[in-house]
Structure 1
């Protein structure tokens, strides 16, 4: 969609955009991911926390889009405006890397899905699975270099492929509901390790972030709305609808199977659960829908990955080489670096015991850092009163939303555990080479004293992370 299209979006169209941007591959993995950590009671608490925090974050994005419409260089623009060049770079780099890792999770899930029918693919991280994923990466790469973009009909097919299998899954689960089994599972179920409620909820926190990634897209289309008030309404409608679907997909399997059985399933667990209820056709049905959905989403996110790096280079947050376009107007240099990184991460999945969970949790941790900067910038604006000469009555409300969003993102980072923070540092520290490269191109000072302190802290954390990996203290 472009501004040149001249089309104004209705409330229904805006709501559909919100829903389409939020429902991705992660929803197909929810039954097993939650069952490994908790029962229905813990799941309800986890979703309440996640939905509340992400809704506050959505409102922050909406407010900033209205009050700072000139900042259209991505979520990292807010970090740079509020906290300086190096934090802005870290936010841009973190957002880019998180989208790269998210793309890796797509390939792992695709191969894991095929592994249910062709054992040679295993759980998505066997040598053959990595080889096929690599061929897929570069097939998409050269397709995009030729300037091929998503057409409207592809978007429609992908949307149907995502939504229809999920809705049928929910209906089948609802008709198969067994109250006594749900009651047994409610407080944690049998044959599962004992864990406190806090620990159960904590283990689900990063997956809830993963399935909500893309929520920032809700504010992107505000200028296309027929009525400005439709933007907030569409955000609420889309957010509530997607949250309801995710909660149902998480909870209903507890009414048809024991928690221990769900926890032991392969991914995508939605397919395995449906197979257990209706037979083998259920697994085939969900798997086909997932494959079409994920491949379509991968094309979209491949473009987004390259676009993030390309735009950052245009705003001089990254080296200028990544602002190059080829004859087909594709961001060629950014696309090459993006897919080289995706390729390296795909190879690394061979060494992981649960590659999908690792990629999912690492994507979430990396995404939370740019989100935290966005919330902090919104706090700064509200405290200073900047831009609040227009509608000053919204200042205290926006400050409250931003403060809650900031607390939520920091809590989620802590709840995710030190392991993922250290893995993030291992990526951020060497990634700073791109920042140094860019600053030298511009002949500018590398770091302010505070930024130098941040860089040193990152290097120390990265070295400790590498040491922990080498000694086995952190396992992939």
Structure 2
């Protein structure tokens, strides 16, 4: 009798529940505990925060419905943002969408790890603000431990993630209930300086100041679409994205509104990390701050685990279609994405070393992560708009009323994607070129492996020139210390 070989994990075994919890797990992290303080620190007052969430709610819902529509009408495209951009605008733009999303996922994981050990510093002062030597060593150990777990199979990892998500949501609901039951919400505080201080930011600038925070709060929401190739039913990925988005939007708005009725903008802006701990300390005392820091640790540990999967899958899926070099598509006996997983975490390790020597904070990395993901979001919205206008495939079977609704969704998602780039400011758009430009070498490598020409269209050359010009401008600005990416 021969030794039985380890059974391979079958692809396509993730149902709606595990896809939904995966999307929530990749999204619900540091943002939920810092949104109120970060918005206040950026100068946004009550009215601007409410308008910011309204814009985000409409825009992100439209984007999620774009993902849902694409998932429904183009089930043949099973690699999310990469497939959509490549199908709609060509190989090089498709590659850049995949590359930007992959880099965004890795930067997000660095941000989570940094804030995780900053929160650990509440209980163990040796960790400080999360960017000292002991924090980086422990963060590195955690990252590689998650690699070990994911190598045992993505399906098994997704099941673990579902359990972790429950542990993340329960403390957050306790926090919301504590504010409500303690009657700490004061309408007068909520209404004071509703539109801002006389010498503060203008109202439009206040709204723009909420952009990074609202985007960061939802980075990862499309995670179910990214791993749609592992879903039992392709349509479940789109449904999971919409369900998780609506649940999280409700939580974020409740926390923002309640916080703004407990402390003024100035007081919220002065809170340390995580700001929600300061809010709960004001409401119920020390135990509230302790509970928040514990919840942050659980949440960020779970997000680190989720993003280890997401970063690997966001490189593996494009590689399986020939967009990234073959190494990225290598698997182990459990069908776990071995090549992309190891390489992703080696790059994360480099970023963690940058944290140590540059004393960078989690805000730096989440801002860069949000910046990198804006282009994939815009391209996805544009592709759905293109599909709707061309009435591609099953879209042609929609009734006039249904088609009109889908046009509104596609236009709104595209406009919101453009708004994100505008609101983020030209400086951060330029900085992204520092991370997009090196990807061109990987693109050339993958094309060479297939014996294909790298830049076969005029559009490809035009995009390459724009990226290189932005790279040079960013490098000059950094050399003159006008901007600092880290």
| TM-score, normalised relative to structure 1 | 0.90
Aligned residue for 1:307?
A: 313
Matched residues in 2 for 1:331 and 1:218: separation? 16
Distance in 1 of aligned mates of 2:380 and 2:449: 27
* Residue of structure 2 in register with 1:418 after alignment: 426
Native 8 Å contact 1:189 1:260 kept in 2: no
1:391 Cα deviation after fit: 1.8
Structure 2 distance, partners of 1:325, 1:231, is: 22
Deviates more, 1:397-406 or 1:102-111: 397-406
8 Å contact from structure 1 (residues 14, 225) kept in 2: no
Please, which runs of 5 or more residues in structure 2 have no aligned partner? 1-8
Note the C-alpha offset of 1:132. 2.2
Q: State the distance in 1 between where 2:149 and 2:271 align.
A: 35
Q: Secondary structure at the match of 1:172?
A: helix
Match of 2:397 in 1: 390
- 1:21·1:215 contact (CA, 8 Å) conserved in 2? yes
- 2:374 alignment partner in structure 1: 368
In the aligned structure 2, how far is the partner of 1:185 from the partner of 1:161? 37
CA distance in 2, matches of 1:233, 1:79: 21
Offset at residue 378 of structure 1 (A): 1.1
Q: Which residue of 2 aligns with 1:111?
A: 117
Is the deviation greater in 76-85 or in 323-332? Answer: 323-332
Q: CA offset at residue 359 of structure 1?
A: 1.4
State which drifts further: 194-203 or 248-257.
248-257
Shift of 1:22: 4.2
Q: Which string of whole-angstrom CA distances, capped at 9 and with x for unpartnered residues, describes residues 47-100 of structure 1?
A: 011001011111111111111001102221011111110001001101111111
Report what 2:471 is aligned to: 462
2:36 matched residue in structure 1: 31
Question: Residue 379 in 1 paired to residue 385 in 2?
Answer: yes
CA distance in structure 1 between the partners assigned to 2:83 and 2:482 by the alignment:
36
**Alignment length, in residue pairs?**
469
The alignment partner of 2:431 has SS state of helix
Q: Match for residue 399 of structure 1?
A: 407
- Greater shift, 56-65 or 265-274, is seen at 265-274
Rounded to whole Å, the distance in 2 between the matches of 1:42 and 1:50 is: 12
Residues 245-270 of structure 1, C-alpha deviations (whole Å, 9 max, x = no match): 10121121222223222212222211
Distance in 2 separating the partners of 1:20 and 1:257: 29
* Alpha-carbon distance in structure 1 between the residues aligned to 2:20 and 2:319: 32
Structure 1: where are the runs of 5+ without partners?
none
1:422-461 aligned within 5 A: 422-447=430-455, 448-461=457-470
Describe the superposition over 1:367-388 as per-residue Cα deviations: whole angstroms up to 9, x where unpaired.
1111111111111112222123
CA distance in 1, matches of 2:298, 2:281: 19
CA contact (8 A) 2:12 2:229 kept: no
Which of 158, 171, 186 is the aligned partner of 1:178?
Answer: 186
Alpha-carbon displacement from aligned partner over 1:151-173 (angstroms, at most 9, x marks no partner): 57633542232212211211222
Instruction: Tell me the residue number matched to 1:130.
Output: 136
Please identify, of 173-182 and 217-226, the stretch whose mean Cα deviation from structure 2 is larger.
217-226
Which position in structure 2 is the counterpart of 1:473?
A: 482
Deviations 1:2-28 (A, max 9, x none): 776597x59xx9876765564333111
Partners of 1:351 and 1:56 in 2: how far apart? Answer: 40
Q: TM-score, normalised by structure 2?
A: 0.88
- Cα gap change, 1:19 to 1:332, in 2 (>3 Å): closer
Residues 97-123 of structure 1 show CA distances to partners (whole Å, capped at 9, x for unaligned) of 111111111101101212233334332
Deviation at 1:216, TM superposition (A): 2.6
| 452-461 or 236-245, which deviates more | 236-245
Q: Which residue of 1 aligns with 2:75?
A: 69
Asked whether the 8 Å contact 1:170–1:248 carries over to 2, the reply is yes
CA contact (8 A) 1:102 1:363 kept: yes
> In the alignment, is the contact (CA less than 8 A) between 2:12 and 2:230 conserved in 1?
no
Cα deviation for residue 410 of structure 1 reads 1.1
Instruction: Supply the distance in 2 between the matched residues of 1:339 and 1:218 (Cα, whole angstroms).
Output: 21
Is residue 382–residue 398 contact of structure 1 (8 Å, CA) maintained in 2?
yes
Task: Calculate the aligned-residue CA RMSD, in Å.
Answer: 2.9
Matched, 1:356 2:365: no
Q: Is the 8 A contact 2:271 2:278 kept in 1?
A: yes
Establish whether residue 270 from structure 1 lines up as the match of residue 239 from structure 2.
Answer: no
CA distance change for structure 1 residues 218 and 436 in 2, over 3 Å: closer, same or farther? closer
What is the Cα deviation at residue 358 of structure 1? 1.6
Partner residue in 2 for 1:101: 107
